[in-house]
């Protein structure tokens, strides 16, 4: 059986005052997930736990994201998190505070019989 892409969910998250890249990444993933109720797995005779979810997060400083913390957001399935350069940083007028914006894509795969 091969992994087949079933769904792509997109989200955006911010940390307005803390310059916390992980917090922004988690919020972006939650934004992508919390607007949906995936029924694709049961519709195909699979369990939600059978899903493989690959998360791609874009932030200006990827090395500052705790990938394990981002993966914990996913309620079930096999988890994979990749963090790449992207998103935005916005400095306040005084130069003392940074807003971080992250973008996330959650791609859901299921193992299906090849045809």
Q: Which residues, including other chains, have CB under 8 Å from residue 45's CB and lie 6 or more apart?
A: none
Domain count, the chain: 1
Residue 115: band (very low, low, confident or very high) from pLDDT cuts 50, 70, 90 = low
Between residues 59 and 96, which one has the greater pLDDT? Answer: 59
pLDDT tens digits for 93-107? 998 899 999 999 999
- Distance of CA 50 to CAs 41, 96, 101, 105, 109, Å? 8, 46, 31, 19, 9
- Report strand pairing: 52-59 vs 98-112: antiparallel
Q: What is the pLDDT of residue 84?
A: 98
pLDDT tens digits for 6-55? 999 999 999 998 899 999 999 999 999 987 777 888 888 899 899 999 99
CATH classification at residue 96: 3.30.1330.20
**7 forms bridges with which residues in the sheet?**
108
* Structural domain boundaries, residue 18: 2-112
Between residues 39 and 79, which one has the greater pLDDT? Answer: 79
């Amino acid at each position: 059986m091969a992994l087949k892409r079933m769904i792509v969910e997109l989200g955006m998250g911010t940390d307005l005052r803390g310059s916390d890249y992980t917090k922004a990444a988690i919020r972006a993933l939650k934004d992508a997930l919390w607007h949906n109720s995936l029924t694709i797995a049961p519709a195909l005779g699979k369990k939600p736990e059978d899903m493989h979810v690959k998360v791609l997060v874009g932030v200006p400083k990827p090395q500052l994201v705790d990938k394990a913390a981002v993966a914990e957001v996913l309620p079930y399935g096999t988890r994979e998190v990749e963090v790449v350069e992207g998103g935005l940083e916005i400095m306040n007028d005084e130069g003392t505070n940074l807003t971080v914006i992250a973008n996330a894509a959650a791609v859901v795969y299921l193992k299906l019989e090849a045809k």
